[in-house]
Amino acid sequence: MPTRLEALFERSRAEKRAALIGYITAGDPTPAETSALVAALERGGVDLIELGVPFSDPIADGPVIQRGADRALKAGTNVAKVLEIARQIRSASQVPLLLFTYMNPVLRYGWDRLARDAKAAGIDGLLLTDLSVEEANPFIGVMRAGGLDTVFLAAPTSTDARLQLVSEYSSGFVYLVSRTGVTGERAELSDSIAPLIERMRRVTKLPLAVGFGISTPEQAGAVAAMADGVIVGSALVRMIEQHATPGELEAFARSLAQAMSSETVSPPGSPS
């Protein structure tokens, strides 16, 4: 049986469209509100939710997501609370859930314990932003044994050797970082996206999803013409920071999804 991540990309490929992936920090603004925000994004057309585990030193994230993590931590969110949120989401939805986190919270919680508890909570996979792919063997073994997909990052600065490792160790999809630096909204898309997609397609048949710096419907539509998935995070976290209602989040997600399925957007290329 395919995992939820595999099934999602099989479905989106059959529908000749890219998948829309949304990131939010779990527990922002409060743990009690996260499941309603996820439901709103799903209604708006988001295909996969990245649930960010708040961390005090999120080195891959820009100021918007850093502030979201700070709000979530002050609201009492930790790994156990995020898994409780995931259970709440899963009780009402089958939307794929990817746990987006850093090494420190995972090491404190415990590899084996996290694999067991995440699977039981309805999590489908994990992405550890600061785990070097060259040192990922123990993580891969534990998570795969627990029935969880493992997603790794590839960047424009990644060597060919590292892209090969990312291909071997990823399952579900590969997360392509569109630019060097941290997350955050940008006025223009990076010129690095197309070359990175081309390089990655040479070494993997996995779906390729692009994130970092995608924040408008126009940008999402442009990336959807090249990739199998489009990831939007900071724009959603900023809306939450500005006290957007679930209805406003739903409307924004719908505008992204509509731009990605526009007749002017060519379907993403099939992995070779």
> Is 139 inside a domain boundary?
yes
266 located within any domain: no
Which of 179, 188, 119 has its CA nearest to residue 149? 119
Burial 26-51 (b: 16+ CB within 10 A, else e): bbbbebeebbebbbbbbebbbbbbbb
53 domain residue, yes or no: yes
pLDDT tens column, 131-185 = 989 999 889 999 999 999 999 999 999 999 999 999 999 999 999 997 654 454 4
Q: Which whole number is the average pLDDT over 103-126?
A: 96
Identify the domain containing residue 27 by its residue range: 4-260
Calpha distance 54→77 (Å, rounded): 7
CATH code of the domain containing 131: 3.20.20.70
Confidence of residue 263 (pLDDT cuts 50, 70, 90): very low
Q: 160 in a domain, yes or no? A: yes
How many domains does the chain fold into?
A: 1
| Position 144 in a domain | yes
- What is the per-residue pLDDT for 192? 83
Is residue 91 situated within a structural domain?
yes
Tens-digit pLDDT profile for residues 217-262:
999 999 999 999 999 999 999 999 999 999 999 999 999 999 998 5
Domain assignment present for residue 270? The answer is no
Q: Residue 181 has what pLDDT?
A: 47
- Whether the CB-CB separation of 232 and 215 falls below 8 Å is answered with yes
Rounded to two decimals, the pTM is 0.92
Residue 241: inside a domain: yes
pLDDT tens track for 47-83: 999 999 999 987 767 889 999 999 999 999 999 999 9
Mean per-residue pLDDT of the chain: 91
Is it the case that residue 186 has pLDDT exceeding 80? no
Q: Which amino acid is at 170?
A: S
Q: Which residues are annotated as catalytic?
A: 50, 61
